[in-house]
Structure 1
Amino acid sequence: MKPTFIKKGIGFAIASVIAGGSYAETTESPVSKNQQPNVVLIFVDDIGYADMGFQNLRDDIVTPNMDKVAKDGVVFSAGYVTGSVCGPSRAGLVTGRYQQRFGYHDNIGPRVRDKNVEQGLDLSVKTFGNYFQDAGYTTGYIGKSHDGDDKKFWPHNRGFDEFYGFNNGAADYFISGRNVENSEESAHSSIHRNDEVIENFDGYLTDIFGDESVDFIDRHKDSPFFLYVPFNASHGPMQAKHSDLQKFAHISDPLRRKSVAMTYNMDVNVGKIVNKLEQHELMENTMIIFMSDNGGKPDNNGSINSPLRSTKGTTWEGGIRVPFAISYRGHVPANQVIDDPVVSLDILPTTLAIAGIEEKEEWELEGVNLMPRMTGKVDKLESRYLYWLTAARSAIRDENWKLVVPNIHVQNPRYELYKISEDISESNDLSSQYPEQVERLKTEFERWNEYNEDSRWGWNKDRYPYTNGWRGRE
């Protein structure tokens, strides 16, 4: 039986540039040719696989700025993150290691595996902020952090010179005017600059993060910088600006209209960042990376993952396969679509390589440098396995095959096998037809899992028997 979905190449949406978010053509402060390259990493929240224009899968999405960035470089049609929810995915991204190596299987929760466990990214593990800071870069973190509550886990204590944002799964987009009041009851969802609560301010949160990013570039344009911008759009709460909602009044589904409007606003702020890089003639000395932290959750935020199966929180494609694009003008040829499987772990080795920072064996990084593939020095990445393990599910894939376990805790787990290179919608389970592939992938997953730490925290009382007063809960 043939798969019901035949993969088609992803093209580029052609969209007119909307005022306020287009590329600027003015120039000033040209950068020295010898300066190490900058990195701008844009990591968005709960954006579905079909929810960016450059994916060319939906007509209702308007993202001209990211479409131009993507067209300027490479779109990875098989781009993955290491987790299907926010916290673990971010832990893998910032460390360049599978987060299961240090017990980060799920979003931080109130219950812990052992009495001595403290919720937060293991302090012995370095972040990309540390690596670039150690190499003399100025490092900035503007947006959402989703880590331990104690400030020793916050970005400004984990390798980032500057942190502006919040430390929580979500925040009110209209918190302006009551940030200080909010901090008295919900400190974790209030906006901080490093340790300090920001005084009340005016504005929509995505716009505020975009403006802060522009200010960071203005202040650090004359020396190499690493700017990480984890927008919380388009994660709930679903709050869009009235002016943006008006642009999409033709969309009848109110939840989808909010999602599209919030994503549009995020793209406008991507345009602000790119405009500023253009203004300072930094585009040919800056790698821009864009991806989502996990798949969308349509019932919650109106996102769309089609043609992928399922949603955020699962290890089917809809939970872990995301829009992913990289541009590096003058260094990476434009108008490329690469179908090789790639993963968020590849970002750290790639950015270290362009910065001339030697990757050391003791760092135990688990991704690969994508530059040889993006520049055409090699026409295919070496074959490898990619792995997923959450508090309840698992999966593994290679170039052609993917094995999914929807529930790892039952006595006799079900194994689903897909020819993922042909059937990205996972519509045809081939486990009974190819038992040898099932066994091969099971064996490889078990080998990988031997080096992981058990999940440190969660919500299940049986698996996490202890509490430690996290956020006042007992």
Structure 2
Amino acid sequence: MRLLLLMALAPFLAAAEKPNLIVIFTDDLGYADLGCQGQEKDVRTPNLDRFAAEGLRCTAGYVTAPQCSPSRAGLITGRYQQRMGIDSIPDIPLPLEEVTIAEMLRPAGYATGMVGKWHLEPNAVCLKWAAKHRPNLKPTGKRRINIPQSDRIAHFPAKQGFSDHFTGEMNQFYANYELTGQDRKPGFIQKPGFRIDLQTEGALAFIRRHRSAPFFLYLCYYAPHTPLELAKPYVNEFPEDMPVRRRAGLSMIRGVDHGVGRIMELLKELGIDDDTLVIFTSDNGAPIKNRKDTPITTDAGGWDGSLNTPWVGEKGMLSEGGIRVPFLVRWPGKVPAGSVSDTPVSTLDIAPTALEVAGLDARDNLDGRSLMPMLEKPAEAQPERTLHWRFWNQIACRRGKWKYLSVNAEKEFLFDMESDAHETRDLSETHPEVLKSLRNESNAWAAELKPPGPPPGRANPQEKRWYQEYFNVELEGTSP
């Protein structure tokens, strides 16, 4: 009888032994926006600084795109998003047949929760999707169309493996549970208050709901992305005489930091801190926008107060400022406290890491690799690999210390990323053999994508301005 009982309980006992996984994904947070990065003195992130001190800080953390939706598609699937035809925001939604981390973990007994900004459903700029799936819809303006709410909901997290969801950017959330932790009929709900605090509450409620089972939480803070807020009480920690956009952005980042601190406290309170791997990063670099300090009630797509120091460029570029982001990992007892690694890592690595910690078999179609060997022994050298990017009219790759960057099929750069000069010194003429090798590798990777090959277009106005401003390069032609 006892043997039969143990056999019946085996799946539940195995599930209980599996560690929890939390991925915290911020929005437009620049490389310099955490105190532990040691770049800007006016940042206040005491909880995230403690997070880094208790775990691993990766100085070469990368995302797969310098823009929101494609970056999110890469993280949540563990695959280069161009393999599913997503180069930029108009190319979404995420196809429902794509397998997310949540769908990978559900068979292993994981509760899966998504809180905050999803941004992988069809939206007003998804004209190609609308032309195929809703051909009777008429554009409402230049390159915009109204997507029916039912189509948006059909691509929400619940359709991609998330058992629990509290999805929303501002004060409206599509949820199947209350902040008290009680179940509710799936639907929209209005919540007053600072959006970051609300998203923190959604995360805390999910953790409490599943404290006794292994869980995967994907927490997507909508900050410091515009619209900016002088978020109270956090704004009181920053002087009134600083640029208003900087002050607002820092106050929102402090709100994120406060939320992360509350999550860390709850994990300890529930006795599951040592059983929980937490990864903190951002979807792309900061949109600098010439750092114009316009009123926060205007210029919705302007500077969000963030900075990318010391890297060149900004959101939308394949230079480091667009794709190199904060990347912290914490797992007490597993990841040595106070570790720092210069090994390039990617958000593509989160999915294979999740599979390994859950005791699941690796998937051959994933583009990243498990971080566990590095997390357990951060000081050891890791096997070299090549990371790739393609966005708009830019393509890039990094292998070891070398980075290749091409824009508009017109100008090529080669940079030594281990040099203090990094992307301020082009070495393409002094190392032509390295340039050729990386170009060939980049083109071979691009040939596997949808559509295949390097970008065929001409630089758009933003790219022309950026490469003139940051690299003093005049690009030909424009594409819309």
TM range (shorter): 0.7 to 0.9
Pair 1:303 & 2:306 matched = yes
Tell me the residue number matched to 2:135.
Answer: none
Deviations 1:120-146 (CA, angstroms, capped at 9, x unpaired)? 112221000100112210000001011
Contact 2:88–2:391, Cα closer than 8 Å, also in 1? yes
- Residue 396 and residue 33 in structure 1: after superposition, are their counterparts in 2 closer, same or farther (change >3 A)? closer
Q: What do the CA deviations read for 1:225-268 (whole angstroms, capped 9, x no partner)?
A: 00110101110001132432222125511110001000001111
For 1:3-43, what per-residue CA distance to the aligned partner results, in whole angstroms no more than 9, with x for missing partners?
xxxxxxxxxxxxxxxxxxxxxxxxxxxx9995210001100
The answer to whether the Cα contact below 8 Å between 1:317 and 1:425 also exists between their aligned partners in 2 is no
Q: Secondary structure at the match of 2:32?
A: coil
TM-aligned CA deviation for residue 148 of structure 1 = 2.2
The letter for the 2-side match of 1:208 is: L
What is the rounded CA distance, in whole Å, between the counterparts of 1:265 and 1:395 in structure 2? 34
Q: Secondary structure at the match of 2:49?
A: helix
2:81 corresponds to which residue? Answer: 99
Aligned residues: 395
* Residue 280 (1) aligns with residue 270 (2): yes
Aligned to 2:444: 447
User: Does 1:148 find its partner at 2:138?
Assistant: no
For residues 367 and 14 of structure 2, what CA distance do their matches in structure 1 show? 33
Residue of 71, 94, 100 corresponding to 1:127? 100
Q: Which residue of 2 aligns with 1:372?
A: 373
Which SS does the other structure have where 1:231 is aligned?
strand
Structure 2 residues not aligned, in runs of 5+: 1-12, 123-150, 177-184, 290-302, 461-480
Partners of 2:422 and 2:337 in 1: CA distance = 28
- The structure, 1 or 2, with the larger RCO (C-alpha pairs under 8 Å, 6+ apart) is 1
Q: Does residue 322 of structure 1 match 2:325?
A: yes
Please tell me whether the aligned partners of residues 28 and 223 of structure 2 are also in contact (alpha carbons under 8 angstroms).
yes
Q: For 1:298-447, list aligned pairs within 5 A.
A: 298-299=288-289, 300-361=303-364, 364-376=365-377, 379-408=380-409, 413-423=410-420, 425-447=422-444
- What code does the residue aligned with 2:280 have? F
Which stretch shows the higher mean deviation, 263-272 or 150-159? 150-159
Q: Secondary structure at the match of 1:198?
A: strand
**TM-score (normalizing by structure 2):** 0.78
2:26 to 32, 44, 54: 44
Which deviations, in whole Å up to 9, do the C-alpha atoms of 1:31-87 show, x marking residues without a partner? 999521000110001011100111111111111111111111110000100010000
Distance change (3 Å), C-alpha of 1:162 and 1:34? closer
Q: Distance in 2 between matches of 1:197 and 1:374?
A: 39
Q: Higher helix share goes to which structure?
A: 2
Contact kept? 2:15, 2:109, Cα under 8 Å = no
Counterpart in the other structure of 1:165: 167
The superposition leaves residues 150-206 of structure 1 with CA deviations (integer Å, 9 ceiling, x where unpaired) of: 22321110010011122xxxx4x4x4xxxxxxxxxxxxxx42115844333222111
Alignment gaps of 5+ in structure 1: 1-30, 110-118, 176-189, 464-474
- Counterpart-to-counterpart distance in 2, 1:196 and 1:302: 35
Q: Secondary structure at the match of 2:222?
A: coil
Q: Is the 8 A contact 1:79 1:324 kept in 2?
A: yes
Q: Pick from 75, 90, 98: which aligns with 2:72?
A: 90
Question: Which structure has more strand as a fraction of its residues?
Answer: 2
Q: Judging changes above 3 Å, is the alpha-carbon distance between structure 1 residues 250 and 32 closer, same or farther for their aligned structure 2 residues? A: farther
Counterpart residue type for residue 383 of structure 2: E
| Secondary structure, aligned partner of 2:267 | helix
Deviant stretches of 4+, over 4 Å: 31-34, 194-197, 460-463
CA distance in 2: counterparts of 1:289 and 1:35, whole angstroms = 20
CA distance in 2, matches of 1:443, 1:71: 40
Q: Is the 8 A contact 2:62 2:344 kept in 1?
A: yes
> How far does residue 98 in structure 1 lie from its aligned partner after superposition?
0.6
Q: What is the TM-score normalised by the length of structure 1? A: 0.79
SS in 1 for 2:343: coil
Q: Is the 8 A contact 2:117 2:222 kept in 1?
A: yes
Q: Deviations over 1:257-315 (max 9, x none)?
A: 00100000111111111111010011100001000110001232011101100100000
| SS at structure 1 position matched to 2:154 | helix
Distance 1:255 1:462 in 2: 29
Separation in structure 2 between the aligned mates of residue 59 and residue 251 of structure 1, nearest angstrom: 15
- Percent identity of equivalent pairs: 35
CA distance in 2, matches of 1:439, 1:461: 22
